[in-house]
Chains A and B, each alone.
Chain A
Amino acid sequence: DTAVSQTPKYLVTQMGNDKSIKCEQNLGHDTMYWYKQDSKKFLKIMFSYNNKELIINETVPNRFSPKSPDKAHLNLHINSLELGDSAVYFCASGRIRGEQYFGPGTRLTVT
């Protein structure tokens, strides 16, 4: 059973397009997260949702909009993609102040 799953695994698109990444967890956690890992492997939190409510929003351009239809899902929509958005995006889930479980990542390439 996959605990945290993301789709798609790879996403190649052109500048200016709009794209979405989906994330689902079957661990029963209340909190879900989006992270961005850049080309130097640096991981930074983007958003965190607890019980479908946004609790962390870390200086991310408003072209990025997370949506949590229920506790098990946290999707990431990106408008007007830019070259600098190319990265690996990881979804994670966990309990508040506990360990987080990461999805397999989505490698986004903007050309």
Chain B
Amino acid sequence: AQSVSQHNHHVILSEAASLELGCNYSYGGTVNLFWYVQYPGQHLQLLLKYFSGDPLVKGIKGFEAEFIKSKFSFNLRKPSVQWSDTAEYFCAVLGSGNTPLVFGKGTRLSVIA
């Protein structure tokens, strides 16, 4: 069964700092990869996705992620965070066939002024 690990439980950054959130997965086959964001009290929104092609994908709000197949990783990055980026970030992996979308446990990002 596939699994997803997000290494950081809670990250605290000052505004304008750079962000990198780690995500590793375990699955031997072809995967589709996602990052979702959940702002306080809201539903999940898709930040970006990777299906195939260029392993560096750009998403909304200045976020990007890089798929490194050899490391089974899909880390999320943003060069300069804003206070409004305070949220919970979830990495998710979809394997082949009828396997379900599996989420990591999430990383809470707190951006302080």
With a cutoff of 8 Å between Cβ atoms, the chain B residues found around residue A40 in the complex are 105
Contact across chains for B100 and A48 when beta carbons are under 8 A apart? yes
Contact across chains for B98 and A56 when beta carbons are under 8 A apart? yes
Contact across chains for A45 and B101 when beta carbons are under 8 A apart? yes
Most chain A beta-carbon contacts within 10 A, residue among B36, B44, B98: B44
Is B84's CB within 8 Å of the partner chain A? no
Contact across chains for A103 and B43 when beta carbons are under 8 A apart? yes
Q: How many Cβ-Cβ contacts under 8 Å join chain A to chain B?
A: 45
Interface size, B (range): 20 to 34
Q: Chain B, 58-102, contact with A by CB distance < 8 Å: what is the 0/1 string?
A: 000000000000000000000000000000101000101010111
Contact across chains for A58 and B43 when beta carbons are under 8 A apart? no
The CA-CA distance from A45 to B100 in the complex, in Å, is 7
Main secondary structure of the interface of B (DSSP, over half): strand
With a cutoff of 8 Å between Cβ atoms, the chain B residues found around residue A104 in the complex are 42-43
Contact across chains for A99 and B49 when beta carbons are under 8 A apart? yes
Most chain A beta-carbon contacts within 10 A, residue among B36, B43, B45, B103: B43
Contact across chains for A44 and B43 when beta carbons are under 8 A apart? no
With a cutoff of 8 Å between Cβ atoms, the chain A residues found around residue B90 in the complex are 43
Contact across chains for B105 and A41 when beta carbons are under 8 A apart? yes
* 7 A-B pairs with C-beta separation under 8 A: A41-B108, A43-B44, A45-B101, A92-B44, A99-B34, A99-B49, A102-B44
